[in-house]
Amino acid sequence: MKGIINTGFKVGILGGGQLGKMLVLAAQNWELETWVLDVSKDFPAGAACDHFVEGSFKDFDDVYHFGKQVDVLTIEIEHVNTEALLKLEREGIKIHPSPTALNIIKDKGLQKQFYKEKALPTSHFKFYENAKEIKTAIDNRQLTFPFVQKSRTAGYDGKGVAIIKSAEHLDRLMDTPSIIEPLVDIQKEIAVIVARNENGEVKAFPPVEMEFNPTANLVEFLFCPAAISSEIAREAIAIAKSTIEAYDLCGLLAVELFLTKDNEVLINEVAPRPHNSGHHTIDSAICSQFQQHLRAIVNYPLGNTEATIPSVMVNLLGADGHTGKAQYEGLQDCFSIEGAKFHIYGKAITKPFRKMGHVTIVDQDLENAKNKARQIQKSLKIISASQS
Interface residues toward ligand ADP, by CB under 6 A: 123, 148, 150, 155-161, 181, 183-184, 186, 189, 212, 217, 256, 268-269
From residue 11, alpha-carbon distances to 20, 70, 96, 100 in Å are: 11, 6, 11, 20
**Complex with ligand ADP: residue 174 or 298, whichever CB lies closer:** 174
The span from the CA of 4 to the CA of 33, in Å, is 9
Shortest distance in whole angstroms from residue 193 CB to ligand ADP: 15
Residue 352: partners with Cβ closer than 8 Å, 6 or more residues away: 216, 317, 318, 319, 320, 321, 322, 323
Shortest distance in whole angstroms from residue 150 CB to ligand ADP: 6
Residue type, 355: K
Shortest distance in whole angstroms from residue 276 CB to ligand ADP: 9
From residue 262, alpha-carbon distances to 188, 258, 259, 365 in Å are: 11, 11, 8, 29
| Pair 210, 280: CB distance under 8 Å | no
**Complex with ligand ADP: residue 22 or 180, whichever CB lies closer:** 180
Shortest distance in whole angstroms from residue 296 CB to ligand ADP: 23
Residue 206: partners with Cβ closer than 8 Å, 6 or more residues away: 224, 225, 226, 233, 305, 306, 307
Shortest distance in whole angstroms from residue 278 CB to ligand ADP: 15
**Complex with ligand ADP: residue 259 or 369, whichever CB lies closer:** 259
**Complex with ligand ADP: residue 2 or 159, whichever CB lies closer:** 159
**Complex with ligand ADP: residue 181 or 220, whichever CB lies closer:** 181
Shortest distance in whole angstroms from residue 123 CB to ligand ADP: 5
Shortest distance in whole angstroms from residue 295 CB to ligand ADP: 26
**Complex with ligand ADP: residue 41 or 106, whichever CB lies closer:** 106
**Complex with ligand ADP: residue 110 or 161, whichever CB lies closer:** 161
**Complex with ligand ADP: residue 110 or 309, whichever CB lies closer:** 110
**Complex with ligand ADP: residue 268 or 315, whichever CB lies closer:** 268
Nearest-CB residue to ligand ADP? 184
Shortest distance in whole angstroms from residue 280 CB to ligand ADP: 18
The span from the CA of 263 to the CA of 167, in Å, is 30
Shortest distance in whole angstroms from residue 42 CB to ligand ADP: 25
